[in-house]
Amino acid sequence: DAMVIQNPRYQVTQFGKPVTLSCSQTLNHNVMYWYQQKSSQAPKLLFHYYDKDFNNEADTPDNFQSRRPNTSFCFLDIRSPGLGDAAMYLCATSREQVWGNQPQHFGDGTRLSIL
DSSP string covering 9-34: SEEEE-TT--EEEEEEESS--SEEEE
Determine the length of the chain.
115
Q: Kindly tell me which residue out of 64, 78, 109, 114 binds other proteins, with binding defined by CB under 8 A.
A: 109
Q: CA-CA distance, 49 to 1, in Å (whole number)?
A: 23
Within 24-63, the residues that bind other proteins by CB under 8 A are 30-31, 33, 37, 42-45, 48, 50, 55
DSSP state of 109: -
| Beta carbon nearer to other proteins, 56 or 80 | 56
What is the binding site for other proteins (CB under 8 A)?
30-31, 33, 37, 42-45, 48, 50, 55, 88, 90, 94, 96-98, 101-106, 108-109, 111
